[in-house]
Amino acid sequence: MTRTPSMDPPRASRRPVSITQVGRTRTDDFRWMKDDAWQEVLRDPSLLRADIREHLEAENAHARALLGHTDALQDHLFAEMRGRIREDDSTPPLPDGAFAYYTRFREGGQHPILCRRPIIARTADLTLGDEQILLDGDEEARDRVFWSLGGAAHSPDHRLLAWAVDDAGSEYNTIRIKDLTTGAVLDDIIESAAGSLAWAADSRTLFWNFRDENGRPTRVLRRTVGTGGVDIEVYAEPDPGFFLSVGKTDDGGHIVLSTGGHTTSEVWLIPADRPDAPPLLVSQREEGHEYDLTRAGDRFFIRTNQDGAVDFQIMQAPVADPRRQNWRPCIPHRPGTLVEALIGFRGFLVRQEMRDALPVLTIRRLEDSEEHTIAQDEQAYALGASGGFEFDTTTLRFSYNSPSTPTTTFDYDMVTRTRVVRKVQEIPSGHDPSAYEVLRIEAPSHDGVKVPVTLLRHRSTPLDGTAPVLLYGYGSYGLSTPADFRSTRLSLVDRGFIHVIGHVRGGMERGYQWYLDGKLDSKANTFLDLVAVARDLVRRGWARERRIVIQGGSAGGLLVGASVNIAPELFGAVVAAVPFVDVLNTMSDSALPLTPPEWPEWGNPLESAPAHDAILAWSPYDNVREDAPYPPILATAGLTDPRVTYWEPAKWIARLRHLNPHAGPFVLKTNMEAGHGGASGRFDRLKELAYEFAFVLWAMDHPEARRPD
């Protein structure tokens, strides 16, 4: 990994800015990389200030120079990953009244195609008529650099389709409505929308979510189609720390307005058959009280953490008046069993739960409260469940996969307790699950707490420390990392890598307390857990120092950024995708989209000196060490990213280079035409991943990635 003079990286100028808050003063040398007109840049990237654009383009040129010799490898990786995708794939049709709806892709197509077929007969496999294309994503995205479907919903009478599209990566969506009988797109065009939307029972009134000038979804409005584009405000969220969304209950009987932050929520209901009725407040917001609800049978069921139910309990309430004073106990709190979500049917209530870092589906028959779970076999696996469109059914659709096993989609009969396979994920280039081994182990962290670890390897790869390791983690917002199947991982695993997931604190793999133990004053546990997992792999003899690559994106980028500050000598490389690394500065800027909503997650350094000091103690950008043995680091960014702004990774890489000119190298690659999720097309995303994998292989001195002499 020697560098030639032509590969010398850009040297960002230092323009010190002094920042004083809560009695503390710090200096930021690279504050200039933040364009003060960032709101305008989100909507129109061409407005980016010239000196910032010049720097980002210089970084991209450096990235090309450093890894340009891997172009052929990247092409090979891309072709390999694409070869594992059935290009004309489709989802199993879901029935809804007279139609069955599904999504498919065409051979070579980048974007989804929304379709339906009329149901001719409700046989075991459904007898269906001719296909009708509702929305052709490839056609809609033609001649556009970026096109991402934010959400779509057909009206209850099946005559209209509403869909939301982001065409810049900024998450500002435009909603359009199509007459499915004539195929005509109506004049009702809605701008500055978030992706959530819901139809009232009259199939003419659409509820949608407005995104304000700071990128926050703050209002729900309703529009009656064909009335000249008049929008009526239904609810406006006054708290900038709360995000608002709109949806429907599982029976379709109520429009649900959900608002809240990371630890507090509030729900308002509107009868779907009376869209002009004032919203009914279910339970007034209280700091620390989280709840949501849906209908099953003739009742509402409420998932709530009230009265110290850390892992949530289930209450029930009458549909006629579900306010909190009418809640009655149904399923008590069971410490260690986290209730993640509820799905309602006419005769059943389904709970998605997490027990000991593994998902569980529990079925409750409403007539007599009898319960059972759907059994699974492997050591580590992932589950997903959907109630579908229909309420009056005994069929639950769920999917199963594991790190070695592609996804199988089942229809499960909740009465007979039998399952029917509806789809098995096809790997066109071939895949033998038995050729791989999946292990679940536990790694002791700094305080003795055992961290669950999921490991995937090819059976031919030795567990003797000679194989390189890719260690992935996330650990924030209570989002658990599933032990799932990703065909793209095989491009590293089949090259002798061991793929490892560290289920670190900050997620909810071991219940809500696992989340609480990885946030605010306890946030350091998240980073120390990942370091502990790496060290445990070394202790077991399964890995060696400098042969472990850590990978994470967004808040997972924070995880790897903080971890490499703690133990730079332990890791061989870092891949940080759109990394949230400039935490103190971002949490000190109340105008940014996610800052007020995320103060409960990280702390508010504008008002609290202890919060300021706690964040300062681990924020990756602020804790870059000087003259430390940092490994090669790749950071990616999206110019129109509203979640992790482009300047965070740009500043981080600049500071790493300034303080460690002989370490690294440090690479920044910015997508100048995308946001948080990167490229919008499914194959374009693979190209970005191929670049990251080429970096990993190069950093680990894999023969395929070595620079020619």
pLDDT 10s digits, 211-239: 999 999 999 999 999 888 899 999 999 99
Q: Are residues 448 and 512 in the same domain?
A: yes
86-109 pLDDT tens trace: 999 999 999 999 999 999 999 999
Of the chain, the percentage scoring pLDDT greater than 90 comes to 93
506-564 pLDDT tens trace: 999 999 999 999 999 999 999 999 999 999 999 999 999 999 999 999 999 999 999 99
Does residue 63 sit within a domain?
Answer: yes
Give the active site residue among 554, 588, 619, 680. Answer: 554
33-55 pLDDT tens trace: 999 999 999 989 999 999 999 99
Of the chain, the percentage scoring pLDDT greater than 70 comes to 99
Q: Are residues 470 and 360 in the same domain?
A: no
The domain boundary, picked from 425, 457, 489, lies at: 425
Q: Are residues 682 and 625 in the same domain?
A: yes
pLDDT score of 673? 87
Candidates 469, 476, 466; CA nearest to 439 is 469
Rounded Cα distance between 432 and 411, Å, is 24
DSSP run (H or E) holding 553: strand 548-553
The CATH number given to whatever domain includes residue 185 is 2.130.10.120
Cβ neighbours of residue 74 under 8 Å, at least 6 residues apart? 687, 690, 691, 694
Tokens encoding 417: 């307790």
Candidates 436, 352, 442; CA nearest to 402 is 436
Q: Are residues 71 and 113 in the same domain?
A: no
Bridge partners of 440? Answer: 454
The domain boundary, picked from 287, 320, 343, lies at: 287
Q: Are residues 454 and 439 in the same domain?
A: yes
What mean pLDDT, rounded, does the chain reach? 96
Q: Are residues 215 and 306 in the same domain?
A: no
Q: pTM (2 decimals)?
A: 0.94
Q: Are residues 196 and 252 in the same domain?
A: yes
* Residue 426 confidence (pLDDT) above 60: yes
Burial of 43 (0-12, 13-18, 19+ CB in 10 A): middle
Tokens encoding 296: 């099953």
Q: Are residues 521 and 645 in the same domain?
A: yes
Q: How distant is the alpha carbon of residue 527 from its chain centre?
A: 20
Mean pLDDT of 61-70: 96
Distances (CA, A) of 395 to 311, 363, 374, 695: 27, 11, 13, 45
* Residue 2 confidence (pLDDT) above 50: no
Burial of 325 (0-12, 13-18, 19+ CB in 10 A): exposed
Does residue 224 sit within a domain?
Answer: yes
Does residue 226 sit within a domain?
Answer: yes
Does residue 306 sit within a domain?
Answer: yes
Does residue 26 sit within a domain?
Answer: no
Cβ neighbours of residue 227 under 8 Å, at least 6 residues apart? none
Residue 418: pLDDT band (50, 70, 90) is very high
Rounded Cα distance between 573 and 696, Å, is 7
Bridge partners of 502? Answer: 453
Give the active site residue among 188, 491, 641, 680. Answer: 641
Residue 679: pLDDT band (50, 70, 90) is confident
Mean pLDDT of 574-584: 98
Give the active site residue among 254, 333, 676, 702. Answer: 676
Q: Are residues 539 and 672 in the same domain?
A: yes
Q: 């990774």: which residue's tokens?
A: 649
Does residue 189 sit within a domain?
Answer: yes
Q: 């005994």: which residue's tokens?
A: 394
Rounded Cα distance between 572 and 575, Å, is 10
Rounded Cα distance between 146 and 332, Å, is 47
The yes-or-no answer on residue 480 being catalytic is no
Number of domains in the chain: 4
pLDDT score of 496? 98
- 443: containing domain: 38-83+430-582+620-705
Does residue 407 sit within a domain?
Answer: yes
Q: Are residues 196 and 111 in the same domain?
A: no
The domain boundary, picked from 425, 458, 484, lies at: 425
Q: Are residues 462 and 361 in the same domain?
A: no
The yes-or-no answer on residue 446 being catalytic is no
129-188 pLDDT tens trace: 999 999 999 999 999 999 999 999 999 999 999 999 999 999 999 999 999 999 999 999
Evaluate whether 431 touches 484 at the Cβ level (below 8 Å).
Answer: no
Does residue 591 sit within a domain?
Answer: no
* Residue 5 confidence (pLDDT) above 50: no
Bridge partners of 220? Answer: 209, 235
The yes-or-no answer on residue 62 being catalytic is no
Q: Are residues 543 and 670 in the same domain?
A: yes
